[in-house]
Amino acid sequence: MTTFKDQAIQTTDAPAGKFTLAQVLEILAGGRLPVSFTAYDGSTAGPPDAPFGLDLLAPRGTTYLATGRGDLGLARAYIAGDLDIHGVHPGDPYELLKALANSLEFTRPRARMMVDIIRSIGVRQLRPISPPPEEAQARWRRVASGLRHSKTRDAEAIHHHYDVSNRFYEWVLGPSMTYTCACYPDSDAPLDQAQENKYRLVFEKLRLNPGDRLLDVGCGWGSMVRYAARRGIRSTGVTLSREQAEWAQRAIADEGLSDLAEVRFGDYRDITETGFDAVSSIGLLEHIGVRNYSSYFRFLQDRLRPGGLLLNHCITRPENRTEPATRGFIDRYVFPDGELTGSGRIISEAQDVGLEVLHEENLRQHYALTLRDWCANLVEHWDEAVEEVGLPTAKVWGLYMAGSRLGFESNGIQLHQVLMTRPDERGGVGELPLRSWWTP
């Protein structure tokens, strides 16, 4: 691998203290670049025969890289078209991200070296500029939409992420239209089979029987609602995405399930009915805000009859110490105002409002497989997806899903299902079996 030291010896026409962009990158990376790199100033770095590479195409990309913290600068330059990738498909840049994550570690140069780097880049390139239009506002600017996790601000956050295009989601998610972790009977199982298996698992854990009532909060395109209705369950779903609700209602009508199922466009907090036999929350808690967990679980508990069951399925952190707020690329481009915490915090909050936790399990590896298959779908339908939502948005999704897959594989994030029940006044939970009653 060519290092900065080697390049510095070979470069005789560069004035002292003046570095090329490739040399700057090598300095910051400590001479350890796992990919090839070229820049618009004609400089290169990294192994020339590397299978993956980055091409910095314009000065604006330098500004994004220099002024964006963490992964945000890289994402801005890439989404704006100022940083190109090769060796991978933009719908699935997983292998490139994996190579960077495994080998690239930036270091902070000494003060004098940092001065030379700034001089080489140019002060003009260090002045922040407007981000790509696909980026959500910084958190402090979102106050115009209301306080964090107020109904109006939650609606805006959900709109940003979910109202992209139903057709786009059909290509990425496949026929199940399920935007949550699947449950794979084996690693080679087809995505749709794995999603069907996930709904089977949730259904069995909730011990639903014909004639029972199910509330599915954050129901997406209504897949859980329809799965339950096909089995005689009276099912109500609610979503803050108008496009999801409209798609779901059409699907319910097309299947002839309108007598048993409905999906409402609205906030889960506007559900007034009570006495449900079961509540499912699949992929909603990430949007709630950790400080609101107590009121969230209390609200869902109040919707249940005594002895009713609640299943919460959500992305978590592998520990409970980290500040819950998401930052950088995920907050600005994917889940504005999203918050993750550990399963321990979730269980504690549920217990503290009076719910009894019966079972929990981690499906982390299943989500990695789900994202693998979503990326494969995006690659397969790349041209149609770009035509539908535009190249920048399609690139956001490829980057987000491939990066998330890496996060699940490396245990940076997890997926937990927690099964709970609402005890009656005497602490009873009905006639629940003594041991797990579902098939894993």
**What is residue 3's predicted lDDT score, i.e. its pLDDT?**
40
Q: 217 - beta bridge partners?
A: 238, 281
CA atoms within a 13 Å half-sphere pointing along the CA-CB vector of 246: 8
**Residue 87: Cβ within 10 Å count:** 15
Handedness of CA 176, 181, 185, 187 (dihedral sign): positive
Between helices 71-80 and 59-67, what is the axis angle to 10°?
Answer: 160
pLDDT on residue 13: 41
Per-residue pLDDT, 164:
79
Spatial neighbors of 204 by CB under 8 A, at least 6 apart, are: 437, 438, 439
> For 232-272, what is each residue's pLDDT tens digit?
999 999 999 999 999 999 999 999 999 999 999 999 999 99
Distance CA 242, CA 181 (A): 22
> What does the DSSP 8-state code read for residue 332?
I
The tens digit of pLDDT for each residue in 107-141 reads: 788 888 888 898 898 888 889 999 999 998 776 55
Task: Give yes or no for residue 4 having a pLDDT over 50.
Answer: no
Q: Which of 360, 367, 364, 370 is nearest to 411 (CA)?
A: 364
Which tens digit of pLDDT belongs to each residue from 72-108?
Answer: 999 999 999 999 999 999 999 999 999 999 887 777 8
Strands (E), 318-437: 356-362, 414-421
Residue written as tokens 């922040």?
128
Interval 268-295: pLDDT, tens = 999 999 999 999 999 999 999 999 999 9
Q: Tell me the angle at which helices 293-303 and 343-352 cross, rounded to the nearest 10 degrees.
A: 60
373-411 pLDDT tens trace: 999 999 999 999 999 999 999 999 999 999 999 999 999
In the chain, the domains with their CATH numbers are 4-126 (no CATH), 151-421 (3.40.50.150)
- Distance (Å, whole) CA 45 – CA 2: 7
